[in-house]
Amino acid sequence: MAGAEATLCQEAYQLLARLNTIDAQRVGDPEFPTTQFDEFPAANRYANVYPSQKINVLVNLTPLVEHGFPKSDQYWPTSPSEPLTVDHLWKVSLLSEKDAHDSFDAESASLAHNVPHLRVRHLRIESLVHDRQHEVTQMHFEGWPDHGVLDLQVLFGLLEAMHALQSRSAERPPVWVHCSAGIGRSGTLIGAYLLQQRAETLASQQPLSMAGDVTAHMRKYRAGTVQTSGQLVVLALAAAKMQATR
């Protein structure tokens, strides 16, 4: 097994090197908007992004601070009694905050139920200028180190949590995903989601080839998506698990 794992890691390293030569096009993917945390000022996100795209599930894959460096804005309030005001234009209220155990059913969503370091917040965004408001549910996962890889069980738990939250809306609008740079952790999670959607059509391919194809597809919309060979290996292992359980 150790030899097979070493071979997979080496092949993933070589594949990522080839993918890094792609001159990726920067056009937004309509299903998964992704950003780095400071790409859009908070007021712009609330005014132009979440309501206009009807975003109702927001995934944050980074802590506020990592190794002493800021990684994400604090764009939500910490107390239901103390709303956050943004540029005198928007008021953000915390309606509820729960951990995974209290957010997902232990039987119907057991993987999501057991994800550690996951908080689920229900937020209301209200305009202070116009009669306008929007609600969004934030999944905030703080157990994934920058440039790091994730245990497969936890990765599938995050996917299950996303599906569970999406299913609560009849419209199923895009899911907004961000980490710090918006390409490593975000790209790995979105890649795993896309593999789930393509499992039947890609079933005849080798898992690493499947992971490479999905990564190449994402890089058409955001350059550098999936940053490390370790993250590419995780996608390959996820693809293999999906094939085995079909």
Q: How confident is the model at residue 26 (pLDDT cuts 50, 70, 90)?
A: very low
**Global pTM value:** 0.86
Instruction: Give me the chain's average pLDDT, please.
Output: 86
Active site residue 179: yes
Residue 198 has a pLDDT of 83
Residue 229 has a pLDDT of 93
Exactly one of 16, 123, 161, 179 is catalytic; name it.
Answer: 179
Whole-number Å distance between alpha carbons of 159 and 90? 30
Whole-number Å distance between alpha carbons of 153 and 114? 9
Of 71 and 39, the structure prediction assigns the larger pLDDT to 71
Number of compact structural domains in the chain: 1
The predicted-structure confidence for 159-216, as pLDDT tens digits, reads as follows 999 999 998 877 778 888 999 888 999 999 999 999 998 877 767 789 999 999 999 9
Q: What would the mean pLDDT of 141-152 be, rounded to a whole number?
A: 91
Q: Is 150 a domain residue?
A: yes
Q: What's 174's DSSP letter?
A: P
Q: Is 186 a domain residue?
A: no
Residue 220 has a pLDDT of 87
Q: Is 225 a domain residue?
A: no
Binning the chain into helix, strand and coil, the percentages to the nearest 5 are 35, 20, 45
Residue 38 has a pLDDT of 53
Of 84 and 2, the structure prediction assigns the larger pLDDT to 84
The predicted-structure confidence for 51-81, as pLDDT tens digits, reads as follows 777 888 999 999 999 989 888 888 899 999 9
Q: Is 32 a domain residue?
A: no
Tell me if 172 sits within 8 A of 110, measured CB to CB: no
Residue 35 has a pLDDT of 52
Phi/psi for 51 (5° steps) reads -65, -45
150 lies in which domain range? Answer: 39-180
Q: Is 43 a domain residue?
A: yes
- 3-42 burial code (b ≥16 CB/10 A, e <16): eeeeebeebbeebbeebeeeebeeeebeebbbbbbeebeb
Helices 207-219 & 229-244 angle (0-180, nearest 10): 120
Tell me if 54 sits within 8 A of 173, measured CB to CB: yes
Q: Is 88 a domain residue?
A: yes
- How are beta strands 90-99 and 118-127 bridged, if at all? antiparallel
Q: How confident is the model at residue 23 (pLDDT cuts 50, 70, 90)?
A: very low
Query: Domain of 166: which CATH number?
Result: 3.90.190.10
The predicted-structure confidence for 85-125, as pLDDT tens digits, reads as follows 988 888 999 999 999 999 999 999 999 999 999 999 999 99
Stretch among 79-83, 141-145, 213-217, 218-222 having the lowest mean pLDDT:
218-222
Residue 32 has a pLDDT of 60
